[in-house]
Structure 1
Amino acid sequence: MQRAPGRGWPSTVVGIALLALMLFPVYWMVTASLEPAGNALPGGWFPSHPDLSGYVTALHDQGRNLVTSLVTALGSVVLSLGLAAPAAYGLAQFRLPGADIVLFGILITQTVPGIAMANALYGAYTDLGLLNSYLGLILADSTAGVPFAIIILHAFMRGIPKEIIDAARLDGAGKLRVFRSVVLPVSTNALITAAVFTFLFTWSDFLFALTLTTTETVRPVTLGIYEYIGAHTNQWNAIMATSVLASVPAAVLLVVAQRHVTAGATDGAVE
């Protein structure tokens, strides 16, 4: 067998250049967060005297907003997977009439503009008393998480060999037991993939946060950063420190779950 020719150093150089270009904003954000407070950020590739006062200020002012985002994101993940997993299993394994129409409808929901949905939810939340609440944000963010999770899980569960399910049923397991003890364990990668993307959807949400929260009681960090810029333009180190803190959970989650996300996406594509 002949060895495939390497792409050579030009491809490597181009790849490194593109990677550096994409990571430059992150580098600048971290560097600026270590500068002293001031109206303007000093130049230089790295601060000569790193200052952590920006992080102290950010944690003091935005700590509650970070907790709000974390609670909302985790709640949205739990709700989305709790609804999407059994729905995807039913659509994938049972011969339900109109299943293709249901899936097509789920895909259509992904095309609805977020502003239209946010305005509709605002009117409903006003009547139901869900404005400025964790439950309201979790339900709103789940409108994006549930359809996406169903699509991901359905693509994977359709590929589960029926022999495994039939063997469990021959052993006396009911439909619920098969779903809990057989289907969910073999769908770990797809579940993690859906959970990661649902978390990222919710963590980065700005539109629902802006529309459905009107007080400081419940305020996600995305909205906190937006209002922080206008109120603290003389503390760019604190603004950048808040941005760094807001990026850490998503970055850590992607690094930890990278192997499962890659496997889940690949398994869902092999159909």
Structure 2
Amino acid sequence: MPNPARRVRSAWNTVAALLILAVLLFPVYWMADTALQPDAGTAAVHFLPRDLSLRNFRTALDTQGGSLLTSLAVSLGAVLVCLALAAPAAHALAQFRLRGSRSMVFATLITQMVPGIVIANALYSAYAELGLVNSYLGLILADASLGLPFSIVLLRAFMVSIPREVIEAALVDGANRFTAFVRVVLPMSRNALITAGLFTFLFAWSDFMFALTLNTTDDVKPITLGIYQFVGAHVSDWGAVMATAVLSALPAAVLLVVAQRYIAAGIAGGSVK
């Protein structure tokens, strides 16, 4: 028979968890509620939506659809660049007996402590000379740097657990180190790669500092910069503003739900040496 005290404690824990979840999700609910109500203002929104309308979402897509596609292209490009650099670097730090490898990992973590505005200002000076300001490539490279340190550390922690005997067996069978890396190490690191790629996507999708600093025109305008400008131009139309915010949050939410099991496996796998 279950202990009554334990059942009561479990029930209270469940209630507390639901209350915390409700508090955390309330801003999201209010955002969606405002977006679904036509002619909604911040002080005139009903707690339960009455006259539902998708007009605000049509306005958001008409005005910010291009920015959403720009963010998608930049974020996916940043993921590809980040993983292409992070995976070989992590493999070298994990499998090769490099002198000072621990110091390299520590230095990689330190780079994440540098304020973003400092990096953005330095990049703007370099980009101005290289002609990368107001370009997709420039923003992709900048956003890839946001997830690169995290990806290297995460992938290295996972690749350390890969037995050397597996790689050596591939070498004995005639594969070179690059082939062993591509056909053995990367497939075994799938969960960690998905986790690193997802976090890099989220970093790039939510980036505002680089988008604002490295773009002086509207040629390359991610959704974060689009919302910033949209609020300034339509501060009285909060329904359209909230609809834009809902649309900008959907890709990240969908990716987190779809890749949840890979994230758990990737982080858990990297925690065991």
Aligned residues: CA RMSD? 1.6
Deviates more, 1:176-185 or 1:99-108: 99-108
Partner of 2:87: 85
Partner of 1:245: 247
Number of equivalent positions:
270
Give, as a single letter, the amino acid of the residue that structure 2 aligns with 1:91: L
Give, as a single letter, the amino acid of the residue that structure 2 aligns with 1:82: A
Distance 1:141 1:40 in 2: 33
CA deviation after TM superposition for structure 1 residue 171, in Å = 1.2
Give, as a single letter, the amino acid of the residue that structure 2 aligns with 1:203: W
List aligned pairs for 1:125-136, cutoff 5 A.
125-136=127-138
Distance 2:112 2:40 in 1: 43
**SS of the residue 1:205 aligns to:** coil
CA contact (8 A) 2:87 2:152 kept: yes
**SS of the residue 2:259 aligns to:** helix
CA deviation after TM superposition for structure 1 residue 231, in Å = 0.4
Which of these residues, 52, 55, 58, is aligned with residue 53 of structure 1?
Answer: 55
CA contact (8 A) 1:84 1:146 kept: yes
Q: TM-score w.r.t. structure 1 length? A: 0.96
Q: Structure 2 vs 1, CA of residues 230 and 187 (structure 1 numbering), >3 Å: closer, same or farther?
A: same
Which of these residues, 220, 227, 230, is aligned with residue 228 of structure 1?
Answer: 230
Q: Deviations over 1:168-226 (max 9, x none)?
A: 12211110111011000000000001000000000000111111111111111001111
Give, as a single letter, the amino acid of the residue that structure 2 aligns with 1:66: L
Partner of 2:32: 30
CA deviation after TM superposition for structure 1 residue 41, in Å = 5.1
Give, as a single letter, the amino acid of the residue that structure 1 aligns with 2:96: F
Distance 1:110 1:48 in 2: 46
Deviates more, 1:250-259 or 1:230-239: 230-239
CA contact (8 A) 1:33 1:55 kept: yes
Distance 1:41 1:255 in 2: 32
Partner of 1:62: 64
CA contact (8 A) 2:86 2:148 kept: yes
Deviates more, 1:29-38 or 1:109-118: 29-38
Partner of 1:104: 106
Give, as a single letter, the amino acid of the residue that structure 2 aligns with 1:58: A
Distance 1:164 1:40 in 2: 60
Which ranges in structure 1 are unaligned for 5 or more consecutive residues? none
Partner of 1:198: 200
Q: Deviations over 1:212-253 (max 9, x none)?
A: 111111111001111111100121111000000000000000
CA deviation after TM superposition for structure 1 residue 45, in Å = 2.1
Partner of 1:187: 189
CA contact (8 A) 1:38 1:234 kept: no
Runs of 4 or more, structure 1, over 3 Å off, are 2-7, 38-41
Deviates more, 1:38-47 or 1:257-266: 38-47
Partner of 1:267: 269
Q: TM-score w.r.t. structure 2 length? A: 0.95
Partner of 1:159: 161
CA contact (8 A) 1:35 1:42 kept: no
Q: Structure 2 vs 1, CA of residues 189 and 40 (structure 1 numbering), >3 Å: closer, same or farther?
A: closer
CA contact (8 A) 2:32 2:243 kept: yes
